[in-house]
Amino acid sequence: MAYTVAHQTLNEWVQEVVDLCQPDAVHWCDGTVKEYDRLMAKMVAAGKATPLAKRPNSFLFRSSLSDVARVEEHTYISYPDQEQAGPTNNWIEPKRLKKTMLDLYQGCMRGRTMYVIPFSMGAVGSPMAKIGVEITDSAYVVCNMHIMTRVGTPVIKALGTEGEFIRCLHSVGAPLQPGEKDAIWPCATMENKYISHFPDENLVWSYGSGYGGNALLGKKCLALRIASVMARREGWMAEHMLILRLINPQGERYHICGAFPSACGKTNLSMLLPTIPGWRAECIGDDIAWLRIGPDGRLYAINPEAGFFGVAPGTSNESNPAAMGTLKENCIFTNCALTDNGDVWWEKHDNPAPAHAIDWRGQDWTPDSRQPAAHPNARFTAPAAQCPVISPDWEDPEGVPIDILIFGGRRTCVQPLIVEALDWDHGVFLGATAASETTAANIGHVGNLRRDPFAMKPFCGYNMADYFAHWFTMGDRLGDKRPHVFYVNWFQKNADGKWLWPGFGDNSRVLKWMCERVDGNADAQETPIGYMPSIDDLDLTGLDWPMDRIVESLAIDVKAFRAEIADIEQHLAQFGDRLPGRMIKQLQAYKRRLDGQPAQTAASKSLHTAR
């Protein structure tokens, strides 16, 4: 192949991959609209993509039945020493893993074009940005990376002749013989899927899957698993967090980062439309935040992505009108249903179920069908810039100052609506012991309780005990400029299966209390699990919702919390001697607080003012 860029190391690596994977052709991506349109037209002509008549420049893809989500059991963090990966990661020794994958990569791109995608996580030129280069044999990946990252010539210029970049190699693992017709969704068998990370080398190798974060290597692979390791080395943080700006009627701005497991309301919260008169919200990011301490000592965050890769089922004008506004054009949909009038549909959509559609499996579907029309993990890929509530500062290269950190998950019981951490170390304990009921977006039977520390269990690129220690260290460095830390649960139900809290835009009422706590203008009571508001501390103006349910959402069943102590102890015990002593102290203090309380209490009185 001919070298086409001035960066010699990049050219040499690309040539190594050509020699290994043996593609029929090589294409260096320039990131232009013309390139995107050409590749999409090629996939339409091959029957891989379906244009959507109802949505300009939007397309529907259907994946293989075996390639519908992250494959955590085939995702590896590879260090020479297993202890560095820790108990929450799958580990294979680097030499052995590389040998296995090199055998798979040998000739894996025969019959295909190899695409070289220079991309920037973060606005090109931002001091917080990182550059990666993904090599792939999937045009679907190229088009998604166009939306999710900044791609092409501007990145090559920023890289210069000697700039550092993260190497990301991907193949669908389906070489073609001469004359062989390609599959609609090429991928390897499940046993030959590997999503491998080599953090010591800032290297990602992915093989066999064409889906989502398994293939769009700028997303979870680089922006979290590799970046989390880089962040620890360099003194910053890479987190599975949304970034939201909340603005009160006086124009005061509050910046919030929130960590939630996938499919637990993170995208909805990031595009919040407040129901409190005079309050506004702007979206800065819906999934990943990179945070650094700024010159003023405060914590600043950027969204390293350029698009949204969200779960479609459940997204509606009721749950997220801003997302629905974002999806009107220029989008890629995967594993949604196709209606007869050329649109997409999914369960819990605003539109009623169509009388007939083609489901995500490519089969006829009617409301009487036993299978869902869309896969529960069906996705949309949409440009962030066209979100109706995107912040004008969403690409600020310096980031925005963070006032509030939120952890949360999907719990139908036990965890109350809102808790504020007693201090930073308690906040780290809350994040480290966070739990959620599993959904279709992650591994495990739906509804099982899963400890997901900081919503990072699938994404932390090193031993999570060391990750906890890094959080403690960052708090020490921030000192009195640490953000306030909260824990929320929008998903409680009563004994009759009814929601205790209305959620969606009304979540702004809880966020308002958080902002008032930051300003020192809101009361709270101290409970065994943290500071909590009474029902009188929440702004419920105009809310049409049963008050008894809100009262119940703020109740604390101490007995239920005590019953979970053994699970928390088992969760933390897996880290052995590597677990920070400060975490052990937090667990001991938590147990003492619970032991000193009656079995049932409620946040009914305002006993303590904000600190």
pLDDT at 3: 53
Residue 109 has pLDDT above 80, yes or no: yes
Can you tell me the distance from the alpha carbon of 325 to that of 318, in angstroms, rounded to the nearest whole number? 12
448: pLDDT confidence band, cut at 50, 70 and 90? Answer: confident
Residue range 153-185, pLDDT digits in tens: 999 999 999 999 999 999 999 999 999 999 999
Can you tell me the distance from the alpha carbon of 467 to that of 203, in angstroms, rounded to the nearest whole number? 20
Residue 494 has pLDDT above 90, yes or no: yes
Can you tell me the distance from the alpha carbon of 378 to that of 394, in angstroms, rounded to the nearest whole number? 26
599: pLDDT confidence band, cut at 50, 70 and 90? Answer: low
Alpha-carbon torsion, ordered 220, 223, 225, 228, to 10 deg: -150
Mean pLDDT across 6-18: 97
Asked if residues 285 and 394 have their Cβ atoms less than 8 Å apart, the reply is: yes
Can you tell me the distance from the alpha carbon of 452 to that of 432, in angstroms, rounded to the nearest whole number? 8
Residue range 587-597, pLDDT digits in tens: 999 999 999 87
* Paired tokens of 189: 């068998």
Asked if residues 91 and 79 have their Cβ atoms less than 8 Å apart, the reply is: yes
Least-confidence region, from 42-51, 122-131, 432-441, 488-497: 432-441
Asked if residues 309 and 287 have their Cβ atoms less than 8 Å apart, the reply is: yes
Can you tell me the distance from the alpha carbon of 245 to that of 284, in angstroms, rounded to the nearest whole number? 7
The mean pLDDT of the chain is 95
Can you tell me the distance from the alpha carbon of 25 to that of 71, in angstroms, rounded to the nearest whole number? 29
pLDDT at 611: 29
Question: Which candidate in 21, 143, 168, 264 is catalytic?
Answer: 264
180 φ/ψ sector (left φ>0, alpha ψ -120 to 50, else beta):
beta
What is the residue type of 514?
M
Residue 609 has pLDDT above 60, yes or no: no
Starting at the edge strand found earlier in the chain, the sheet holding 59-61 runs: 49-51, 59-61, 332-334, 379-383, 307-311
pLDDT at 265: 86
Can you tell me the distance from the alpha carbon of 109 to that of 309, in angstroms, rounded to the nearest whole number? 26
Residue range 462-481, pLDDT digits in tens: 999 999 999 999 999 999 99
pLDDT at 442: 44
DSSP state string for 223-287: IIIIHHHHHHHHT-EEESEEEEEEE-TT--EEEEEEE--TTSSHHHHHT----STT-EEEEEESS
Residue 310 has pLDDT above 70, yes or no: yes
Q: How does strand 166-171 pair with strand 59-61?
A: unpaired
CA-atom Rg of the chain in angstroms: 24
Map 139-178 to HEC letters.
HHHHHHHHHHCEECHHHHHHHCCCCCCEEEEEECCCCCCC
Q: Which CATH superfamily is domain 308-386 in?
A: Phosphoenolpyruvate Carboxykinase, domain 2 (2.170.8.10)
pLDDT at 371: 96
Indicate the pTM of the whole model.
0.95
pLDDT at 570: 97
Can you tell me the distance from the alpha carbon of 244 to that of 408, in angstroms, rounded to the nearest whole number? 15
- % of the chain surpassing 70 pLDDT: 95
Residue range 531-581, pLDDT digits in tens: 999 999 999 999 999 999 999 999 999 999 999 999 999 999 999 999 999
Residue 178 main-chain phi, psi, to 5 deg: -55, 125
Please list, residue by residue across 268-303, b when 16 or more beta carbons sit within 10 angstroms of its beta carbon and e when fewer do.
Answer: bbbbbbbbbeebbbbbbbbbbbbbbbeeeebbbbbb
Q: Which of 173, 125, 119 is nearest to 149 (CA)?
A: 119
Residue 440 has pLDDT above 60, yes or no: no
pLDDT at 443: 45
Can you tell me the distance from the alpha carbon of 206 to that of 187, in angstroms, rounded to the nearest whole number? 12
What is the residue type of 579?
L
Task: Give the CATH fold of the 238-303+394-609 domain.
Answer: Phosphoenolpyruvate Carboxykinase; domain 3 (3.90.228)
List the domain boundaries for the chain.
Answer: 8-30+65-234, 238-303+394-609, 308-386
Residue range 272-300, pLDDT digits in tens: 999 999 999 999 999 999 999 999 999 99
CA distances from 563 to 445, 568, 576 (A): 22, 10, 22
Can you tell me the distance from the alpha carbon of 244 to that of 233, in angstroms, rounded to the nearest whole number? 27
- % of the chain surpassing 90 pLDDT: 93
pLDDT at 439: 59
pLDDT at 447: 57
Task: Give the CATH fold of the 8-30+65-234 domain.
Answer: Phosphoenolpyruvate Carboxykinase; domain 1 (3.40.449)
pLDDT at 241: 98
Mean pLDDT across 237-245: 98
pLDDT at 559: 96
Residues 6+ apart with CB under 8 A from 265: 408, 410, 490, 491, 503
Residue 4 has pLDDT above 80, yes or no: no
Please confirm, yes or no, whether 264 is among the known catalytic residues. Answer: yes
Residue range 411-431, pLDDT digits in tens: 999 999 999 999 999 999 999
Residue 598 has pLDDT above 90, yes or no: no
